[in-house]
């Protein structure tokens, strides 16, 4: 973290952030003043006098003002364990995402080993594995949840399964690349030692695929998070970021929707950072 702070990017990053922050307020006013003017013209009983004043306190602003966002955060962050606050819901979504990622890793490894070990497997299944990604997987989410619900699988498990369904693809491709990454010399050495193909996988191919696995994890983590949130949105759920998004979207609570959007962005960045940290721990030789 300290090394990150000393990086040459800090000053430019701050500058860009400042420019955006400076532009935000005028932009917000520009977007909201016409709406406020219309509200005033229609004779609505507002507590503010002019359109400029009203622009920062609209019920459903085009762009919420900083004060509104601040208040929204204060309202949604506490109490920490309330079913309507962000922390608990974010934790549920994070759990679904991580379980989904674990499932996806198991499936991804299975497919990757199949692809690398058998040409027939690759020729018959790889096109469909690729095609499964051009299918808008989100479309399957509502159906899958209803289906699993019929057989008594409810709560967070279907969401984890949908997350896994989206996340298995990058892991499959990444691990397959990684399993093929050892150079021919090392493979020949294994042959020299008369290693069985099982030993070759265990001692050479799996360790070699670890760096690729983590690169894939970073992509898969975001994919799994999107899967979990979409699953929560498109189904009846009682917990999770997706549920909050759907609720507040239906209730037209614009400020809350913005706050939840920022919170889920933070969750995404946090989860990917977690993968980065894990990578440092597991593959120290890469540094």
Partner 1 sequence: MEALKVGRPSPAARPLPWLGVVAVGLGFALLALFIWSWWGRSDLAGTGQKLLILAGFAAAAYGVARVANFLAAVRTGPLVGFIPAGLTLALVLLTVEALLRAYQVPAGLIPTPTRVFATLWAVRDVLLQDAYQTVVLEAFTGYLVGCGLGVATALLVSRFVFLERGFLPYATAFSSIPIVALAPVLVKMMGLEWPSKAAIVAITVFFPVVVGTFRGLTEVSPLSLELMRSYAAGEAQQYRWLRIPNALPFIFNALKLGTTLAMIGSIVGEFFGAGGQGLGFRIQIEAGRFGFDIVWSAIIVASVVGIAWYGLVAWLERRMTGWHVSFRE
Which residues in 90-119 contact partner 1 (CB under 8 A)? Answer: 116-119
Q: Which residue has the tokens 């952030």?
A: 17
Name the segment binding partner 1 (CB under 8 A); options: 47-55, 70-78, 142-150, 206-214. 142-150
Name the segment binding partner 1 (CB under 8 A); options: 22-30, 32-40, 45-53, 224-232. 224-232
Name the segment binding partner 1 (CB under 8 A); options: 70-78, 81-89, 233-241, 278-286. 233-241
Binding of partner 1 by 249 (CB under 8 A) = yes
Binding of partner 1 by 150 (CB under 8 A) = yes
Q: How far is the CB of 49 from partner 1 (least distance, A)?
A: 26
> CB neighbours of 113 closer than 8 A, spacing ≥ 6?
179, 201
Q: Which of residues 199-218 bind partner 1 (CB under 8 A)?
A: 200, 218
Helix 206-233 to helix 86-117 angle (10° resolution) is 140
Q: How far is the CB of 43 from partner 1 (least distance, A)?
A: 24
Tell me the residue length of the chain: 287
Instruction: Tell me 55's DSSP state.
Output: G
Name the segment binding partner 1 (CB under 8 A); options: 21-29, 37-45, 75-83, 243-251. 243-251
Q: Which residue number, 50 or 118, has a Cβ lying nearer to partner 1?
A: 118
- Tell me how many degrees the CA angle 183-185-186 measures, rounded to the nearest 5: 75
Q: Which residue number, 211 or 268, has a Cβ lying nearer to partner 1?
A: 268
With CA atoms as reference, report the closest residue to 233 among 163, 170, 164. 163
- Cβ–Cβ under 8 Å, residues 92 and 267: no
- Tell me how many degrees the CA angle 155-159-161 measures, rounded to the nearest 5: 115
Alpha-helical segments (H) within 118-205 = 119-134, 140-150, 157-179, 184-192, 197-200
Q: Which residue number, 237 or 264, has a Cβ lying nearer to partner 1?
A: 264
Number of residues that bind partner 1 (CB under 8 A): 72
Binding of partner 1 by 86 (CB under 8 A) = no
Binding of partner 1 by 176 (CB under 8 A) = no
- Cβ–Cβ under 8 Å, residues 111 and 125: yes
Q: Which residue number, 10 or 50, has a Cβ lying nearer to partner 1?
A: 10
């Amino acid at each position: 973290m300290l090394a990150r702070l000393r990086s040459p990017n800090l000053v430019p990053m701050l500058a860009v952030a400042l420019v955006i922050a400076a532009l935000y307020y005028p932009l917000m006013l520009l977007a909201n003043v016409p709406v406020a003017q219309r509200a005033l013209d229609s004779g609505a009983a507002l507590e503010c006098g002019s359109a400029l004043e009203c622009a920062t306190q609209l019920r459903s602003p085009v762009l919420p003002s900083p004060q509104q966002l601040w208040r929204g955060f204060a309202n949604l962050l506490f109490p920490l364990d309330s079913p309507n606050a962000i922390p608990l819901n974010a934790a549920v979504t994070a759990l679904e995402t991580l379980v989904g990622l674990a499932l996806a890793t198991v499936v991804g490894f299975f497919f990757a080993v199949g692809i690398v070990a058998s040409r027939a497997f690759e020729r018959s299944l790889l096109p469909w594995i690729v095609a499964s990604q051009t299918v808008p997987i989100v479309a399957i989410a509502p159906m899958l949840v209803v289906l699993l619900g019929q057989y008594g699988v409810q709560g967070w498990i279907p969401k984890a399964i949908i997350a896994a369904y989206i996340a298995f693809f990058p892991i499959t491709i990444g691990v397959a690349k990684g399993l093929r990454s050892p150079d021919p010399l090392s493979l020949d050495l294994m042959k020299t030692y008369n290693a069985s193909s099982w030993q070759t996988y265990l001692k050479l191919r799996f360790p070699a695929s670890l760096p690729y696995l983590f690169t894939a994890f970073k992509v898969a983590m975001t994919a799994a998070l999107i899967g979990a949130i979409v699953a929560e949105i498109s189904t009846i759920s009682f917990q999770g970021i997706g549920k909050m998004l759907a609720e507040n979207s239906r209730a037209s609570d614009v400020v809350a929707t913005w706050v939840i959007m920022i919170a889920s962005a933070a969750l995404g960045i946090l989860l990917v950072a977690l993968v980065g940290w894990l990578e440092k721990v597991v593959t120290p030789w890469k540094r």
